[in-house]
Amino acid sequence: MSSADPTSTDSAPSQSSTSSEPPRDPRGTVAIILAIAVGVSLLVFEGYVLYEAISSVRGLSENSTQVLIAAFSGLIGALAVYLGGRVIGGK
């Protein structure tokens, strides 16, 4: 067969059954799952605090305001860390 023949298997790279990639580190997957769980729980908690503030006659108390500020700041900070890591990592 000629070397220009596309059906020729002489120049095809051999593929073995084992992969040369190292095994994946499960810490990244666990970190993502925990981050999602914490984010969802914070959003549920914030929703509850906002519902209580809207449904009560008193409105937002000083403690509720502090809790909301801390929770929203934490979520924004986590997003900033993630985006900063992506930019620095070049991914």
0.85 exceeded by pTM: no
Render pLDDT for 2-12 as a digit per residue (tens, 0 to 9). Answer: 555 555 555 55
Q: Above 60 in pLDDT, residue 48? A: yes
Contact 51, 64 (CB under 8 A): no
- Percent of the chain predicted with pLDDT > 70: 75
Q: Is 35 left (phi over 0), alpha (psi -120 to 50) or beta?
A: alpha
Number of Cβ atoms within 10 Å of the Cβ of 23: 6
Contact 53, 60 (CB under 8 A): yes
Render pLDDT for 10-21 as a digit per residue (tens, 0 to 9). Answer: 555 555 556 677
Task: Say what the pLDDT of residue 70 is.
Answer: 86
Q: Above 80 in pLDDT, residue 77? A: yes
Long-range contacts of 34-42 (CB under 8 A, 24+ apart): 35/78, 39/75, 39/78, 42/71, 42/74, 42/75
